[in-house]
Amino acid sequence: MNDRLGERLQTTHGEMSGGGRAAQLPSAMADQWAKIKDTQSPRTAAAADTRLISHLLQKFSYIGDTSKIILDPDLDTYYTMAGLLLTEPRLMERISSLGDTADARLRDGVLNLADRRELAQAAGFLTQDTSELRRQLDRAFESTGAFHDNKQLRPVLAPLLRRAERSTGALKSATVAQADRPVSPPVAADRYATLVSRAAQANSSLWRAMFDQQDVMLRARLDGFTERRAIAFAAIGAAMATSATIATLMSRRITRNVSEVARASHILAEGDLTRRAGVRSQDESAKWQSHSTQWPTASREATRPLNSRSVIAQPN
């Protein structure tokens, strides 16, 4: 993908390295992930995983800026892209981070005041991001009829959104419960890890479906552009053909009138004062024909007395 779109999205090795984003290159993130899988220390792996997720989120935001898709004027694709590039990745990062933090605290068995504040704040962020994602997708559902008319957008995404809301809500409730009970946490570490996993899987499924639906709408728009361009080219071609036909007919008509007047003038020059040019139009050719026929008429009138005298003067 980066090989095909890297220059357009400004994500080539040179541009990313020059902008201080070398760690966000696909190859760099693949190396980071390989190192995480080989790491034996859970604490080191968790820290490296957090950095990798941060690089991935920054890459999403950067591509959103360079592609200009986030500035899309069509509301259905705009709000879907906002959830796809901004809200859902941030929500998934919070779920992952919360799972790592809470797991370590729960296995210790006791939460101090700082831990409780951190969990309460994380629960608030989960609620905020989930509500924002719901608002964005609802706007996309409501507006698609006026833009891309994607009839699969709501049927596909709405069930996945409800599932993500339920699983994230369950995780949030467990997190709040943990924050309220610093001693003898009400949710065991294994149970909490299960809630984190379910929330992460549900939001991951929603994110992939959002990506697919966004792709469907953008491809439909591209097809529409192609169709409209083909229609425009066909209209231009038809107009040019019509203009050429009209120009050809007018040229033939003018040429025929000029040829007729020229032929009459030639006959007139040979002495035939009775010939008229057969011009039927009302344009300049007709005026030219009218003026050209006045002279032979006047010439006949002027030469008529001379002809009469010539007849009288002839000997018997």
Q: If you ran DSSP here, which 8-state letter would residue 33 be given?
A: H
Backbone φ and ψ for 64, nearest 5 degrees, come out as -60, -35
CA distance linking residue 10 with residue 21, whole number of Å: 11
Q: Which of 93, 5, 13, 12 is nearest to 55 (CA)?
A: 93
pLDDT mean over 217-226: 79
21 and 167 assigned to the same domain: yes
In a domain, residue 285? The reply is yes
pLDDT digits 0-9 by tens, 101-112: 777 777 766 677
Query: Is it the case that residue 191 has pLDDT exceeding 50?
Result: yes
253 and 183 assigned to the same domain: no
Q: Can you give the residue range of the structural domain that contains 247?
A: 235-313
Cα angle for residues 7, 12, 15 (degrees, 5° grid): 100
102 and 141 assigned to the same domain: yes
Hey, what are 89's tokens?
């990745």
107 and 255 assigned to the same domain: no
pLDDT mean over 256-285: 60
In a domain, residue 230? The reply is no
| Residue bearing the bigger pLDDT, 162 or 272 | 162
In a domain, residue 226? The reply is no
191 and 50 assigned to the same domain: yes
Q: How many domains does the chain have?
A: 2
What pLDDT was estimated at residue 289? 53
Amino acid at 231: I
Output the CA–CA distances (angstroms, integers) from residue 98 to 65, 89, 93, in the order listed: 28, 14, 8
In a domain, residue 244? The reply is yes
pLDDT mean over 218-235: 75
pLDDT digits 0-9 by tens, 259-273: 666 666 666 666 555
pLDDT mean over 77-103: 87
Q: If you ran DSSP here, which 8-state letter would residue 10 be given?
A: T
In a domain, residue 117? The reply is yes
**Cα–chain-centroid distance for residue 226?**
12
Query: Is it the case that residue 36 has pLDDT exceeding 80?
Result: yes
What pLDDT was estimated at residue 238? 80
Over the chain, what is the mean pLDDT? 78
pLDDT mean over 147-153: 89
HSE-up (13 A, CA, CB side) for residue 131: 7
201 and 149 assigned to the same domain: yes
Hey, what are 130's tokens?
């989930």
84 and 197 assigned to the same domain: yes
48 and 141 assigned to the same domain: yes
190 and 243 assigned to the same domain: no
In a domain, residue 228? The reply is no
What pLDDT was estimated at residue 311? 46
Query: Is it the case that residue 283 has pLDDT exceeding 90?
Result: no
